[in-house]
Amino acid sequence: MPIGTTITEYIIEEQRRIQNVSGDFTALINDVVIACKAISSTVRYGSLVGVLGVADTENIQGETQKKLDIISNNLFIKRNEWAGHVAAMASEEMDDVYHLPNQYPRGKYLLVFDPLDGSSNTDVNGAVGTIFSILRRPEGARGEPTTRDFLQPGDRQVCAGYALYGPSSMMVLTTGHGVNGFTLDQRIGEYILTNPNMQIPENTHDFAINSAYMRFWDPPVRRYIDECLAGKDGPRGKDFNMRWAGAMIADVHRVLCQGGVFLYPIDRKLRSKHQEGKLRLLYEANPMSFIIEQAGGLATTGTERIMALPPAGLHQRCSVIMGSKNEVERIIAYHLEDQ
């Protein structure tokens, strides 16, 4: 049985192209990959090992935690805290910056993650996944990393990726030189390069939005979706499909593979709760935006490029509209016309 390029081989070859690198980054990615394999395996056993259902806790954002949210968070931390590549971590499931135990050396990278995206899907055997983003600790920073060290715009990401636990497990990665997809070969336990140089089609007829919130949408979003729904009889002159997996990771993966636009926009209901969006900038919006842009798509709040946003807090949320270039440009134009 021939074995294709493994994710480790791929990362090492990427590093060889860059001079003066220490190999820390390759080792860090390796640990992230092992963490994702462990989470993938746990998710797959589901009810057989009693990991489904809710825990008796809430996260900092007041959301009920699933048992798998906590298990995935712990697996990710344990795998990445010991080797000396990371300076500190931050996760959707932890209130504050995670400082490494004293006995472990500190590295130069900051690791930011959503351990289990779409965790409401766990109880219905739907797709879920892990999203991560790697930043460099700011130059000259001393002592234990602080929250402020993490508040860097998405443009400063060194790497972003996600592991999707669907019918097969996939890892999608960018280090700023395009996007590559790997599929976990369960027979040998390795992610193998299966989707090199992923590119999002510029045009599409798919959109993904939770239309239960339609009555709260801002006029530009309402206009865009109304025009899609009007199909051949409307101004777009073609029919559209709607898809919603309930997990950003699965919906954005579809967009990456086949084109489309994913929207979780700010709306009147979120504003009334003083929220700037539903999805989190550091753990969800920035890493997915980096991947989408590297694949030729666009990612915006409607009025601003997501990766240019200066984060004000670890758990900051933002409006998210991302996907095929021509569609996102159209939605941005609708927002401009509305101002």
Residues engaged in binding Mn ion (CB under 5 A): 92, 114, 116-117
Q: Which is nearer to Mn ion, 11 or 299 (CB)?
A: 299
Q: Which does 247 bind (CB under 5 to 8 A by kind): Mn ion, ligand AHG, none?
A: ligand AHG
Q: Which residues contact 301 (CB under 8 A, 6 or more apart)?
A: 265, 266, 277, 309, 318, 319, 320, 321
- 295-326 b/e (C-beta count within 10 Å ≥ 16 → b): bbbbbbbbeebbbebebeebbbbbbbbbbbbe
Per partner kind, with CB cut-offs from 5 to 8 A, the member of ligand AHG, Mn ion, none near residue 37 is: none
Which among ligand AHG, Mn ion, none contacts residue 14 (Cβ within 5 to 8 A by kind)? none
Identify what 326 binds: ligand AHG, Mn ion, none; CB under 5 to 8 Å per kind.
Answer: none
Q: Binding residues for ligand AHG, per CB under 6 A?
A: 63, 92, 114, 117-119, 210, 246-248, 264, 278
Min CB(321)–ligand AHG separation in Å: 13
Name the residue nearer to ligand AHG (CB basis): 113 or 191.
Answer: 113
Burial class (CB in 10 A: 0-12, 13-18, 19+), 205: middle
Backbone torsions φ then ψ of 204, nearest 5 degrees: -160, 165
Rounded to 5 degrees, φ, ψ at 244 are -150, 110
Residue nearest Mn ion, CB atom distance: 117
**Taking the complex as a whole, how short is the minimal distance between the CB of residue 322 and ligand AHG, in angstroms?**
12
Residue 26 or 42 having the CB closest to Mn ion:
42
CA distance 220 to 233: 20
Q: Which is nearer to Mn ion, 231 or 246 (CB)?
A: 246
At its nearest, how many Å lie between ligand AHG and the CB of residue 92? 6
Q: Which is nearer to ligand AHG, 109 or 264 (CB)?
A: 264
Residue placing its CB nearer to ligand AHG in the complex, 109 or 162 = 162
- Which C-beta is closer to Mn ion: that of 81 or that of 117? 117
Residue 294 interface partner, choices Mn ion, ligand AHG, none, CB cut-off 5-8 Å depending on type = none
What is the closest distance, in whole angstroms, from the C-beta atom of residue 294 to ligand AHG in the complex? 20
125: left (phi over 0), alpha (psi -120 to 50) or beta: left
Smallest distance, Å, CB 219 to ligand AHG? 21
Q: How far is the CB of 263 from ligand AHG (least distance, A)?
A: 10
Task: Give the one entry of Mn ion, ligand AHG, none that residue 210 binds, where binding means its C-beta sits below a cut-off of 5 to 8 angstroms depending on kind.
Answer: ligand AHG
Tell me which of Mn ion, ligand AHG, none is bound by residue 246, counting a contact when its beta carbon lies within the kind-specific cut-off of 5 to 8 angstroms.
ligand AHG
Q: Which residue is nearest to ligand AHG (CB)?
A: 248
CB of 138 to ligand AHG, least distance (A): 27
Residue 28 Cβ vs Mn ion, minimum distance, rounded to whole Å: 21
Query: Out of Mn ion, ligand AHG, none, which partner does residue 293 contact, by CB within 5 to 8 A per kind?
Result: none
Task: Please identify, using beta-carbon distances, which residue of 11 and 245 lies nearer to Mn ion.
Answer: 245
